[in-house]
């Protein structure tokens, strides 16, 4: 498990969306996911729970796995893993 306090920004494919509100955070995340390869993992740092909820709704369509972690500062880390190449 990653220690979120010390190493979140060191994660590969880390994106800081704390200053971005939906729908722009969702638009940007979907742009990244369309270019993803099987097994790619993305970490979106946000305050907005809508990004997580919207990506959960798109799990089947985009063939992704979405997970949520909360930090001590009421921040969210939305982790998305791509299961195969997207159309």
* Predicted confidence (pLDDT) at residue 27 exceeds the cutoff of 80: yes
Average pLDDT of the residues in 16-36: 93
Spatial contact of 2 and 11, defined as CB atoms under 8 Å apart: yes
Q: What is the pLDDT of residues 65-82, one digit of tens each?
A: 999 999 888 899 999 999
Q: Which domains does the chain have, with CATH numbers?
A: 12-82 (3.30.110.40)
Distances (CA, A) of 68 to 49, 65, 85, 87: 9, 10, 22, 25
Q: How many percent of the chain have pLDDT more than 90?
A: 68
Per-residue pLDDT band for 6 (boundaries 50, 70, 90) equals: very low
Query: Taking the chain, what is the end-to-end CA distance rounded to the nearest angstrom?
Result: 31
């Amino acid at each position: 498990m990653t220690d979120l306090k010390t190493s979140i920004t060191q994660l590969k494919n880390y994106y800081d969306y704390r200053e971005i509100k939906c729908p722009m955070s969702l638009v940007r995340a979907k742009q990244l996911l369309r270019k993803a390869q099987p097994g790619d993992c993305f970490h979106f740092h946000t305050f907005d729970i809508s990004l997580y909820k919207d990506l959960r709704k798109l799990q089947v369509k985009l063939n992704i796995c979405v997970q949520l972690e909360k930090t001590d500062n009421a921040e969210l880390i939305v982790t998305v893993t791509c299961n195969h190449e997207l159309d």
